[in-house]
Amino acid sequence: MRIGIVGGTGDIGEGMALRLSTRYDVIIGSREEEKAKTASTTCRLRLDELGKVCSLSGVSNQRAVDEADIVVLALPYKHLVPTIASLTGFEGKIVVSPVNPMEFGETVSYVPPPEGSAGLLLKKLLPESARIVVAFNNIAAHRWQTIGEDLDYSVAVCSDDDEAKRIVMDLINTISHLSALDAGPLKNAALVESLTPLILNISKYNRMKDVGVYFR
């Protein structure tokens, strides 16, 4: 299975590449292909040091879409609309959105677009055959990066495409000790996305680091 990470040179993208490339073929995408190649090399060196074999390459965002079975949009919310507008070829692809529309002020707020969530906005932006799955929204970027440590969080997943949802849930369950949970249709994306500002606020007001969520 080939996983393309659009925005793969950001914190979360690079962390996901580290965790996923020892098991799957990972293509790191970037607006600038050179940056993606550098990120790919950095990741490979870190994994080499740990004696881990990986499958990683750095390409343009467009090639990350074109060559992948699963496309992960590892983008800050503010880059979502322009990035999608600059890319083609999402037809029939599984498109994973860990994107959270948030505003950072005195406190962290959930500020969704008029569609109700980033997930539902994507439904408007992408071709109808794109198989949108909202997942990985609530995992701290820093925890993706600390590959020496296990990840054992619950990962809530929403989609209107049951098969795509099952494929992404199975993928999640192969990453460290993450545990995928079905959170229903794409309509529920706001419930999953808005958990991230809550986690960031809890982190801030209780001086906790890299807070994660568990449903049990």
Least separation in angstroms between CB 165 and a copy of itself? 10
- What residues numbered 156-175 form the site for a copy of itself, per CB under 8 A? 156
Q: How far is the CB of 193 from a copy of itself (least distance, A)?
A: 10
In this structure, what token pair is assigned to residue 144? 């993706």
Q: How far is the CB of 191 from a copy of itself (least distance, A)?
A: 4
Candidates 2-10, 39-47, 122-130, 208-216: pick the segment binding a copy of itself (CB under 8 A).
208-216
214 touches a copy of itself by CB under 8 A: yes
The total number of residues shown for the chain amounts to: 216
- The torsion defined by the Cα of 206, 209, 210 and 216, in degrees rounded to 10, comes to -50
d(Cα 17, Cα 135) in Å, to the nearest integer? 16
The answer to whether 76 contacts a copy of itself (rule: CB under 8 A) is: no
Total interface residues for a copy of itself by CB under 8 A = 32
Looking at beta carbons only, is 8 or 112 nearer to a copy of itself? 112
- State yes or no: residue 176 binds a copy of itself (CB under 8 A): no
Q: Is 113 an interacting residue with respect to a copy of itself (CB under 8 A)?
A: no
Place of tokens 């692809």: 93
- Whole-number Cα distances in Å, 30 to 13, 34, 73, 131: 10, 8, 11, 22
Q: What residue type is 106 in one-letter code?
A: E
Binding status of residue 184 toward a copy of itself by CB under 8 A: yes
The C-alpha atoms of residue 155 and residue 133 are separated, in whole angstroms, by 12
d(CA 139, CA 213): 8
Counting contacts by CB under 8 A, is residue 77 touching a copy of itself? no
Q: Which two tokens stand for residue 63?
A: 């090639």
Q: Quick check: 130 binds a copy of itself (CB under 8 A)? A: no
**Token pair for 76:** 């800050």
> Contact residues for a copy of itself (CB under 8 A)?
106-107, 109-110, 156, 181-185, 187-188, 190-192, 194-195, 197-199, 201-202, 204-206, 208, 211-216
